[in-house]
Chain A
Amino acid sequence: MVKKSISRALSLFLAVVLTAAVAGCSSNNGAASSGAASGANGDSSKKVALTFFSNLPDRSTGQGLLEQQLIDNFTKENTNVSVTVQSLQDDPYKQKFKTYVAANNLPDVFMVWGQPSFFQSIMEQGYAAELNKGDYDSYDFLPGSLDGFSLNGKLYGLPRNSDFMALFYNSKILSDNGLQPPQSTSDFTAMAQKLKAKGISLFAIGGQEKWPLAILWNDMVVKETGSDKVVRDAFTKQDFSDPKLLQASTDFQKLAKSGIFQASISTDKTADAQNLFAQGKAAMYYSGEWDMSMATNDAFSEDFRKNLKVMAFPTAEGGSGKLTDIMGWNGGGYAVSAKSPNKDAAVKLVNYILKPENWTKSGWEQGLIVPAQKFTDYMTGKETEVQKSLVNILSTATSTSGTPVNDSGSAQFKTDFETAVQELATGMIKPDKFIQTLNDSVKANPVS
């Protein structure tokens, strides 16, 4: 009898110990979430723990440092608030973000791209908290900059910067080889051939990430047709068969085949392409205004920084687009989780970061960004040549494209478009097959 009791006790003990060990994991999570919920009512005497998800992983230089400094300043002014930052580069950011969405467990504050392929479903499904438009009357956001962050007249996010594409180039490489900055895209081929003999590529572009190729294709459409209208119409009609798009695709592939890109196009990420450019292995680098800090970043050689110039992507021979018709949109910004137990504090943090005297003033003065807010009051006269050129490109623009083609459709369309444009660039498919792929994808995956 005693032995039977011992055996029961022994087996019960083992069961309890093992079950408790398993349960231990979940109890930790529970403690964490209850702690985070303690400041839900926004009472300044209560501790509030915010989570902040950023796409700026370099917290020691550039925009990442600025973002971190503003968060630190916020927590100094609001001593009851602590902020845990998690940051990843764009692609892993997007993937982890989707995991958070799938688990319905978004961080309190998160970075968003104000583009249909990324943010529309988030707004529609109620994951982002509505923001009070009236709070931003004094923020001087540029006209249209809030459009990608709004749905049915309601505001769900705020933009950080004015994003637009440009062609960075190394003036020394061009002059050493008797070359001038290109007047039109038809100059590219001859320039590429001349530089190839010296082991230098004309263009460096982050082809592995694919999106720069997609935007370049879109830029060529704008330069050949004068606007982005033909792309917008294609989305409306769910048909990319317009001859102008086929022509732009043919010209895009012709340029690619003529060897304007670096040979390692399919394996180079944007950072690799930037590295090739900075090392003098490429004369030009197709990127956005967000790379303007190359002119002030000590990580790059002084020689490179001195010779760094930027221009608008050139016109196309015979095209109706002007140099001032540019690829421009308001991409990155912030939103607050609708489920956040600390919504008030999270909104307060976003509002603090994007106060004109914070992000806009500091970012502009440090040569990091072209803001999404009016920034003429913060011009110091000490801006770099690159900054001045970029401001000139933006301020003289006669048309801006809006969201690039790859981000204007569904997530599946984005994947299909980007894969197809990489295939087009590497000569794997012909332009008519490319158009067919876009048609199949846009019909199968209409924007919701």
Chain B
Amino acid sequence: MHRVLSNKRAIFWMVFPGFAVFCFAVFIPLFYSVFLGMTDWRGYGEIHMVWAQNFSKILFHDPVFWISLKNALLLAVLTMLIQHPVALLFAYLIAKVGGKREKLFRTLFFVPCVISTVVTSRMWVAFLSPTYGLVNHFLKAVGLGFLQTDWLSNQRTAIYALIFVIMWQGFGWAMLIYYSGIKGLPKDIMEAAKVDGANRFNLLWHITLPLLRPVIVVNLTVALISSFKQMETIFLTTNGGPGNTTQFIANYLYTEAFSAQKYGYANAISVLFVVICILATVILNHSLKRDAIES
């Protein structure tokens, strides 16, 4: 076997099929997408080159693209500032509970992630309905009737209602990853800190969080990319409306391709989409990398 693995030709033939599949599945579609992004193709008929025209139109003359990007950034920021600290806190608390209750809470918080997005999205549309919705009924019941509104149709509340739904759907994943990280932390360091007189807060702030940094970085990166890629929940709840108030990039490029029949333009959006995702990930990783503790 050692002889096989040291033979360059053998290595080539073993790597080739996987590499070929990777090329067909990733590189060729990506280059084809870049090519189509430089055309005015409508999904049928002749293809005409327009070169950078689509890209300049998107960047300088397409307000919907910027609304979509702004919404994605808003989702990413709110996810990181609200969902993740809460998920981390819950993961910490659940890890401390122990026993059967730990398993129960872990399962309960993860249930929304197991249910289909279609189901949870439509469920929240029903909850937030101004006619039948539980949310408005609840507000009225507790004396907050003045807060009642048509949550997903009101242009002032729609984006925040939608972001809340998306955060609720993804909470279980974020919590589970933090929980796994906490469970994997070395116990000897904790014990040593306790012996040195560290209280619970000191343990959390000076030991647990620094050791969890790699997990936090991965989790936030995943959250960032998920925020940019968000599509299903938008499509199933507001479909970007009212108007384009709740539009997101993935949903917008889908609309441009399959409703407006502008495949070339939609491909240009998708190329920029990839570039933005990569840039955002690099920036996030770079900003969180400094003084990271290698576990």
Contact = CB atoms under 8 A, between A and B. Distances in A.
Interface of A: 3-4, 6-8, 10-12, 14-15, 18-19, 22, 94-95, 98-99, 101-102, 104, 121, 125, 127, 199, 201, 207-208, 210, 262-267, 276, 281, 410-412, 414-416, 419-420, 422-423, 426, 428-429
Interface stretch (B7-15, B189-197, B201-209): B7-15
7 contacts: A102-B263, A121-B44, A199-B131, A262-B130, A267-B152, A411-B42, A412-B262
A11 B257 CA distance: 43
B243 A125 contact: no
A98 B43 contact: yes
Interface in B13-59: 13-14, 16-18, 20-21, 42-45
A125 B125 CA distance: 40
B242 A426 contact: yes
What are the 5 closest A-B residue pairs judged by CB atoms, nearest first? Answer: A18-B17, A263-B130, A266-B153, A423-B243, A95-B258
Given A426-B243, A428-B242, A121 B42 contact: yes
Contact of B14 (A11, A210, A262): A11
B44 A11 contact: no
B158 interface: yes
Given A11-B14, A265-B153, A266-B152, A429 B243 contact: yes
B251 interface: no
Interface in B219-258: 237-239, 241-245, 254-258
Contact of A15 (B3, B16, B45, B263): B16
B261 interface: yes
Given A267-B238, A411-B261, A127 B44 contact: yes
A7 B243 contact: no
Nearest to A92: B258
A127 B43 CA distance: 12
Given A12-B13, A18-B17, A121-B44, A263 B244 contact: no
B259 A95 contact: yes
B238 A208 contact: yes
B4 interface: yes
Given A98-B43, A264-B153, A415 B260 contact: yes
Interface in B156-185: 158
A423 B43 CA distance: 28
Given A264-B129, A426-B241, 8 more contacts: A7-B4, A8-B10, A15-B17, A95-B254, A121-B261, A208-B239, A266-B238, A267-B237
B4 A10 contact: yes
Nearest to A10: B4
Interface in B138-154: 150, 152-153
B155 interface: yes
Contacts of B132: 281
Nearest to B7: A7
Contacts of B239: 208
Contacts of B4: 6-7, 10-11
A124 to B, nearest CB: 8
A107 to B, nearest CB: 16
A419 B246 CA distance: 12
Contacts of A262: 130-131
A120 B84 CA distance: 50
Nearest to B161: A267
A67 B155 CA distance: 41
A426 B260 contact: no
Given A263-B130, A428-B245, A101 B43 contact: yes
A85 to B, nearest CB: 22
B123 to A, nearest CB: 13
A426 B43 contact: no
Contacts of A12: 13
A429 B244 CA distance: 12
A7 B3 contact: yes
Contact of A94 (B245, B254, B258): B258
B44 A266 contact: no
A18 B241 contact: no
A308 B44 CA distance: 44
